[in-house]
Structure 1
Amino acid sequence: MTLDQTRADQFSLQRRKSGGGTARLSGWGFANETDPLSDVLLGSPAHLRHLATSSLSRKHLREAPCNIQVAQAQHAELVAAYEHFGVKVHMHQPHPELPMQVYARDSSVMTPYGAIITAMAQWWRRGENYAAIRSYESLGIPIYDMVTAGTFEGGDFNVIEDGCVLIGCGSARTQEEGARQVQSWFEAEGWETRLAFIDEYYVHIDLMVVPVAEKLTAVCLDCTEPGIVDWLKAKGHEIIDVPFKDTMALGCNFMSLGRGKVIAPTASKTLIDQLRARGFEVAVVDTQEISKTGGGIHCMAQALRRVAASACSTITACPVGSWLTIRQRPRGGNL
């Protein structure tokens, strides 16, 4: 790495070049959402509360509120899954005033050029954006830019493949003004962008569309606009259909680790079977209780660094089928 590259990766509050031409980071970031994951940013559930953040979370709050202790234990299992697969876990500093900080994808977006600080829609979450700036500063990751034109949340920034992003816009959480601001930045960088106008009931685009591997994407066909599906297929993507019932239980909200490995919730019954039939190793984590508060595995994770498959020898490999054995060991032991 040259001295100029090192300086380019140092923390700053705005790295984006007006008009495009921003250089990609050399140490952090990623080209797509499916290359091998080496570093992930998570939020602590230490101060988690069940709030009415969406129609689904409001329904659970009314009928069967989240058991916070169980949710915290489920999050610990999720952390253990990442660590088992050799992913380095970075955590936001928890704050009692930020009860939804566990959903680390919403307050920021990591890109090949640095992090985007978003603009949260709900007043009780806006402090998460400031906490995210501190996290990136502590890690030495520069800020690409900050959304200012309207609300915008990270679950609506969906990198389909290198140089191509799908941006969700559902009014309740991400406004069209915020979505178009981010769209303009990436079009200036030479990216293909597509806006997905979704019903606010679905909250974010990553409830229904999440990449699994190169040219393989999980999609809930029952609630995704046919034009988006046709667009993906035109790019050569094979679609794994996730049923509506599974999707409403956050079953299409999983995390690709690259190299044929995925962390998925128990609600992903159809998807898990489909992936295993294709030879994927799937770590299944029960997130049912924590998801009552409004999000899934993908919502809880912000990929900080993915490396090209040819350069991923430093990521620990795990034998296929080993996860069930590992997760039964007492916590605190060596993975």
Structure 2
Amino acid sequence: MKKATHHSEYLKLKAVYIKPAKNAFVSDIYLGEQWRELNYLSRPDFDSALEEYKTFQEYFLNNNIETHDFPFDNNVQIDSIYCRDASIATDFGMIICNMGKGGRINEPQSHSEIYKQANIPILGIIEAPGTLEGGDVAWLDSTTLVVGHTYRTNEEGIAQLKALLEPKGIDVVVAELPHYKGKNDVFHLMSILSPVDKDLVVVYSPLMPIKFRDELLNRGFELIEVPNEEFESMGCNVLVIAPRQCLMVAGNPKTKQLLEDAGCQVTTYKGEDISVKGGGGPTCLTRPMHRSY
């Protein structure tokens, strides 16, 4: 029997939660009321977003991955499409986050209600003044979780995360991320890091802390370096559904080629309206649940 775990970014994905565009964007009017305040690059087109999301969602269905939808919730905004951020999956239960972006403050509670309805256990809840977003955490292996200290995830949030996981034998590694474009920009740990196998990660080194980059090398990871011209187009944001089987936003041909040169199978999707304009790639659009060895 294959062993299931939540503690991986690259093992074979068996189940995932998603927030379809129709449930998050709702309508063209809804988008028009919110995109500026939430710092989107430009206004997503509702019909185009639905078409892009249909293709995105079919990828999971075609790979026999069990998908669960987060429903429409009037208490959250269009950013809820990026459903990785509001919760963290562990083998001990879900960790309900506390968002660092004000416009997303109600998303964790929305996740919590869905998990309770599905009888998914809750390990803990990050409480104010702590903030923690799921885009700032990634599993390096089954007992090592890295968390970025960013404008979205603060020291108190990291302390609460450690208090939940370290007693259970999980090593929580902190990566101190730079200021970059400041508090209003979406800059998560997973903006510069995507594990794609047990010994292979996609990185953007110019914004990576030296200490953490050295940690990856010391752990035996080979680094796929995203070129400068493909960082802003989310070349570093790679979702893995099985070791070296990757999904990424179209428009990053150099990173795609580097992945293929490393033995990866890469599928791309058109994500102008569901990814690029809102700054959320395929990892952001998903809340992966269990994977199998």
TM-score computed with the length of structure 2 as normaliser: 0.88
Change in Cα spacing, 1:69 to 1:143, as seen in structure 2 (3 Å) is same
Shift of 1:51: 4.1
Alpha-carbon distance in 1 for matches of 2:148, 2:80: 21
Please state if 1:282 is matched with 2:263.
no
- The aligned residue for residue 101 of structure 2 is 122
Q: How does 1:158-197 map to 2 (within 5 A)?
A: 158-171=138-151, 173-197=152-176
Q: Deviations over 1:254-284 (max 9, x none)?
A: 2111143111111332221122223322111
Q: Do the aligned residues in 2 keep the contact of 1:167 with 1:183 (CA within 8 Å)?
A: no
Alpha-carbon distance in 2 for matches of 1:33, 1:293: 22
Q: Do the aligned residues in 1 keep the contact of 2:201 with 2:224 (CA within 8 Å)?
A: yes
- Matched pairs, number: 276
Give the unaligned 5+ runs of structure 2.
26-30
- The aligned residue for residue 133 of structure 1 is 112
TM-score computed with the length of structure 1 as normaliser: 0.77
Percent identity of paired positions between Structure 1 and Structure 2: 23
Q: Do the aligned residues in 1 keep the contact of 2:186 with 2:279 (CA within 8 Å)?
A: no
Alpha-carbon distance in 2 for matches of 1:29, 1:103: 22
- The aligned residue for residue 154 of structure 1 is 134
Change in Cα spacing, 1:244 to 1:202, as seen in structure 2 (3 Å) is farther
- The aligned residue for residue 235 of structure 2 is 251
SS of alignment partner, residue 144 of structure 1: strand
**Matching residue's letter, 2:279:** G
Give the unaligned 5+ runs of structure 1.
2-25, 309-335
Alpha-carbon distance in 2 for matches of 1:68, 1:51: 15
Shift of 1:28: 6.6
Q: How does 1:1-335 map to 2 (within 5 A)?
A: 29-46=5-22, 47-48=24-25, 49=31, 50-53=35-38, 57=40, 60-61=41-42, 65-98=43-76, 99-149=78-128, 150-171=130-151, 173-198=152-177, 199=179, 200=182, 201=185, 203-291=187-275, 292-308=277-293
Shift of 1:29: 4.2
Alpha-carbon distance in 1 for matches of 2:241, 2:289: 12
Alpha-carbon distance in 1 for matches of 2:246, 2:37: 29
Q: Deviations over 1:147-182 (max 9, x none)?
A: 0141111101111111111101112x2122112211
